[in-house]
């Protein structure tokens, strides 16, 4: 896990540190080696979250694309990799069973999968407005997924529209940049309330309900949180005061 509770604060692992698991509250220790990404591990060498997989640099890079408070959000007895205003984003690099896929989808409800597809052995053809692919050795587990799938190719994503559940396996989708993915899943929905601590800056000259400039999480007092960039001036506004307006 990337975060543990230390003196009531969510902190990342540092050499020699000890903390508390945010799910089970048992003691965890910092693991800061030279091979794996620095992380926290339970003292008993087991993880209370049965869905957890080893934290790789791939996982860490994806989490870093989103605000700190959206990473490893505790939901029940599990830690969602990322919980954005658009739902949970589960990052999966290792093989899992069809049963676990179904269990996670039922538990989280509104969610998508991002799969590390750099070793999927895909043959991709760019058709202009869409792509098709052949999957030489498909991971048949993903034939059963009912939530949206995104294949991470290492430089960009494929948003999967369809996978044919037979052999030879193939499918279709569309290319999507990392930036576009992050932008899409960082937009609040009208009528939704976002988590505490999320602040949304709007360009003062474009303060409308439909045109977001960008937003992110900041540990600032909302009464005094302001910043500037070039000729634009921004005011930090809690999203709940905007997103719930009709």
Q: What is the pLDDT of residue 108?
A: 95
Q: What is the pLDDT of residue 29?
A: 87
Q: How confident is the model at residue 28 (pLDDT cuts 50, 70, 90)?
A: confident
Residue 215 has pLDDT above 70, yes or no: no
Question: Are 52 and 74 within 8 A, CB to CB?
Answer: no
Residue 35 has pLDDT above 50, yes or no: yes
Choice between 204 and 24, residue whose per-residue pLDDT is larger? 24
Angle at 71 between CA 65 and CA 72, to 5 degrees: 145
Q: What is the pLDDT of residue 195?
A: 43
Residue 209 has pLDDT above 90, yes or no: no
As a whole number of angstroms, the distance between CA 246 and CA 90 comes to 31
For the chain, percent of residues with pLDDT exceeding 70: 76
Q: What is the pTM of this model?
A: 0.72
Over residues 95-152, the pLDDT tens digits come to 999 999 999 999 999 999 999 999 999 999 999 999 999 999 999 999 999 999 999 9
Question: Are 40 and 3 within 8 A, CB to CB?
Answer: yes
Q: Is 55 exposed, middle or buried (0-12, 13-18, 19+ CB in 10 A)?
A: buried
As a whole number of angstroms, the distance between CA 116 and CA 152 comes to 5
Residue 156 has pLDDT above 70, yes or no: yes
142 CB contacts (<8 Å, ≥6 apart)? 101, 113, 115, 149, 163
Over residues 181-208, the pLDDT tens digits come to 999 999 876 544 444 444 343 332 233 3
Q: What is the pLDDT of residue 190?
A: 53
Specify the DSSP element, H or E, that contains 100. helix 98-108
As a whole number of angstroms, the distance between CA 143 and CA 139 comes to 8
Beta bridge partners of 39: 31
Tell me the torsion sign for CA atoms 223, 229, 230, 232: negative
Q: What is the pLDDT of residue 111?
A: 96
Phi, psi of 183 (to 5 degrees): -60, -45
Residue 216 has pLDDT above 60, yes or no: no
Angle at 63 between CA 88 and CA 1, to 5 degrees: 90
Q: What is the pLDDT of residue 189?
A: 66
């Amino acid at each position: 896990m990337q975060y543990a509770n230390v003196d009531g604060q969510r902190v990342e692992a540092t050499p020699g540190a000890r903390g508390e698991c945010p799910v089970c509250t048992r003691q965890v220790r910092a693991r800061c080696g030279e091979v794996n990404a620095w992380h926290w591990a339970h003292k008993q060498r087991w993880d209370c979250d049965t869905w957890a997989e080893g934290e790789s640099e791939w996982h860490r890079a994806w989490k870093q694309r989103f605000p700190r408070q959206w990473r490893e959000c505790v939901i029940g007895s599990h830690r969602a990799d990322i919980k954005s205003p658009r739902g949970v984003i589960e990052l999966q690099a290792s093989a899992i069973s069809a049963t676990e896929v179904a269990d996670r989808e039922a538990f989280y409800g509104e969610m998508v999968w991002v799969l590390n597809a750099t070793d999927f052995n895909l043959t991709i053809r760019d058709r202009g407005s869409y792509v098709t692919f052949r999957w030489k050795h498909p991971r048949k587990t993903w034939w059963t997924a009912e939530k949206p799938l995104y294949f991470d190719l290492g430089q960009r994503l494929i948003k999967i529209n369809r996978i044919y559940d037979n052999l030879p396996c193939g499918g279709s989708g569309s290319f999507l940049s990392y930036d576009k993915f992050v932008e899409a899943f960082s937009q609040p929905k009208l009528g939704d309330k976002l988590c505490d601590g999320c602040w949304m800056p709007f360009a003062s000259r474009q303060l409308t309900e439909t045109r977001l400039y960008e937003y992110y999480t900041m540990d600032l007092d909302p009464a005094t949180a302001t910043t500037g960039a070039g000729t634009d001036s921004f005011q930090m506004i809690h999203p709940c005061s905007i997103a719930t307006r009709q």
